[in-house]
Amino acid sequence: MAGRRLGRLAPGSSILFLCDMQERFRHSVAFFPQVVAVAARVLQVPVGPPCPRPTEPQGCRELGVPVVVTEQHPRVLGPTVPELGAHDLPKHPKTCFSMVVPAVEAELRARPHLAAALLCGIETQACILQTALDLLERGLDVHVVVDACSSRSQVDRLVALGRLQQSGAFLTTSESLLLLLLRDAAHPCFRQVLPLIKEPAPDSGLLPLLGGLGPPGGL
Instruction: Report the helix count and the strand count for the chain, using DSSP H and E.
Output: 8, 6
Which residues, 6 or more positions from 92, have their beta carbon under 8 angstroms from its beta carbon? Answer: 68, 69, 70, 71, 99, 101, 103, 104
Tell me, rounded to whole angstroms, the distance of Cα 18 from its chain centroid: 6
143 and 135 Cβ atoms separated by less than 8 Å: no
Instruction: Cite the beta strand spans of the chain per DSSP E.
Output: 14-19, 67-72, 91-94, 116-122, 141-150, 170-172
Give the CA dihedral 38, 108, 219, 160, nearest 10 degrees: 90
Interatomic CA distance for residues 5 and 92, integer angstroms: 30
What's the residue count for the chain?
219
> Exposure of 143 by Cβ count < 10 A (0-12 exposed, 13-18 middle, 19+ buried)?
buried
Interatomic CA distance for residues 120 and 60, integer angstroms: 19
Q: What residues act catalytically? A: 20, 94, 127
